[in-house]
């Protein structure tokens, strides 16, 4: 099964007030295993970058000034997404911006039926806990030491690791890949689990013959400890 993990960076929180998409990063998974195929693009938002947003992702007006418009990169993006399920953290936010950009250029929106929200998954698994990407990476031991600022492709890479953990861990991906007839797992991916046949429980009650042999053996013991008096 093909899935796309993606993340976006924007000029703010609400496309309805004029905020725009400025970066998108996508990671391809097949049967919960990253394939190495990615898509990454920056877009010129045609508006000034608020200082608060730039402090989060570091994308300045000068940096984005020579980047293509969304309309110029949309075909390559949609080709990479295909018709696969799309996984994002707080996915309504990312879907909202992506569909807003599609609406601005009169393109069809992406159906919310394709949306998989890792925040919702995390809430069901860890109710009452913190569900930010940073907090969940810490919970699952995912290294994010190289994440100084937010970045769409970097965050998508972290989210891909987190999604695998939230949905059963890396082992589930290996098992599904084997069932699909793919090549055996490499050393980097870890060993393929060995399937052993179920064995019936062994009888654990001593037979009459065994009890008699034990009684005869005990009778041969000289001064067994359990018959000795208390120590002086």
The answer to whether 155 is a known ligand-binding residue is yes
Evaluate whether 91 touches 68 at the Cβ level (below 8 Å): no
Burial 80-119 (b: 16+ CB within 10 A, else e): bbeebebbbbebebbbbbbbbbbeeeeeeebeeebbbbbb
Per DSSP, helices labelled H in the chain are 51-57, 61-64, 70-81, 91-104, 118-125, 133-139, 152-166, 170-179, 208-219
The verdict on whether 150 is a catalytic residue reads yes
The answer to whether 7 is a known ligand-binding residue is yes
The answer to whether 89 is a known ligand-binding residue is no
The answer to whether 131 is a known ligand-binding residue is no
| Catalytic annotation, pick one of 40, 126, 150, 204 | 150
Burial 24-57 (b: 16+ CB within 10 A, else e): bbbbbbbbbbbeeebbbbbbbbeeebeeebbeeb
Which residues does the annotation place in the binding site for substrate? 7, 9, 57, 155
Which residues does the annotation place in the binding site for a divalent metal cation? 7, 9, 155
Catalytic (active-site) positions: 150
Which residues does the annotation place in the binding site? 7, 9, 57, 155
């Amino acid at each position: 099964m093909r899935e796309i993990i993606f993340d976006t960076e924007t000029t703010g929180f609400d496309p309805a007030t004029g905020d725009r998409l400025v970066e998108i990063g996508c990671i391809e998974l097949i049967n919960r295993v990253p394939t190495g195929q990615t898509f990454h693009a920056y877009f010129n938002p045609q508006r000034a970058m608020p200082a608060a947003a730039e402090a989060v992702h570091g994308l300045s007006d000068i940096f984005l000034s020579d980047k293509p418009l969304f309309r110029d990169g949309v075909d390559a993006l949609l080709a990479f997404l295909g018709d696969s399920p799309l996984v994002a953290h707080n996915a309504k936010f990312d879907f909202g911006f992506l569909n807003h950009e599609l609406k601005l250029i009169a393109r069809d929106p992406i159906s919310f039926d394709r949306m998989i929200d890792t925040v919702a998954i995390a809430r069901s698994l860890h109710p009452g806990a913190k569900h930010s990407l940073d907090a969940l990476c810490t919970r699952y031991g995912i290294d994010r030491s190289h994440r100084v600022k937010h970045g769409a492709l970097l965050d998508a890479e972290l989210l891909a690791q987190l999604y695998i953990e939230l949905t059963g861990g890396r082992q589930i991906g290996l098992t599904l890949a084997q069932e699909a007839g793919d090549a055996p797992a490499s050393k980097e991916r870890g060993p393929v689990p060995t399937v052993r046949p179920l064995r019936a429980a062994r009888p654990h009650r001593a037979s009459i013959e065994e009890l008699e042999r034990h009684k005869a053996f005990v009778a041969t013991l000289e001064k067994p400890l359990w018959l000795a008096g208390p120590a002086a």
